[in-house]
Amino acid sequence: LLLQGVSVTQGYHNCPEETATAFRDGWFATGDLASIDDTGHLRITGRKKEIIVTAGGKNVSPEVLEDSLQTHPLISTVILVGDGKPYIGALITLDAEMLPVWCASKQLPDITPSAAVEHPAIRASLEKALTRANQQVSRAESIRRYRIVDAVFTVENGYLTPSLKLKRHKVLADFADEVEAIYEKDSTRSVPMQ
């Protein structure tokens, strides 16, 4: 998304390098990705710096799937991975507060988040949600494999900004082994493809 107009900043105060990077021929590069729908409305679809480019060269904006999946009651956070990889994967954290409520609604015993990582009913529910979310995107953009990580992402532990946005770079750095495990043969769960 590029902006130009009288109410758009003229640059960053005393930061000529950042100003030069942010402006192209007088247009301010917001860093947002956007599209215009059939009715002429602007729709923000993601951030340019968060785009995942797979090994096959497919550009994937992670927000569509992440936002869709985070409506599932068991899911606290989803982070799509796949930069330079053959397909898209996902790291999923569970909502520790909703877990006992969900288990009770399914007549399951109370399960700790660490035990829930391998529980078949929880995996089945997540795989159903992943399959449903994958129907919103192309096959190249769909999540093929995932891992549930026993973690909580908060502002206090540095994984979220004060506005509760995920610090993707920090998560990917700290959970690099989990990400790599997604791409190891037989080390993780696959999402049923339709």
pLDDT at 183 over 90: yes
Q: How far is CA 172 from CA 94, 120, 129, in A?
A: 17, 26, 23
Contact 78, 66 (CB under 8 A): yes
Domains of the chain by start residue, with CATH: 2-46 (2.30.38.10), 51-190 (3.30.300.30)
For residue 189, the model assigns a pLDDT of 66
- Tens digit of pLDDT for each residue in 164-173? 888 888 999 9
- Tens digit of pLDDT for each residue in 17-53? 888 877 888 888 776 667 788 898 887 765 666 788 8
């409520």: which residue's tokens? 101
pTM for this predicted structure: 0.74
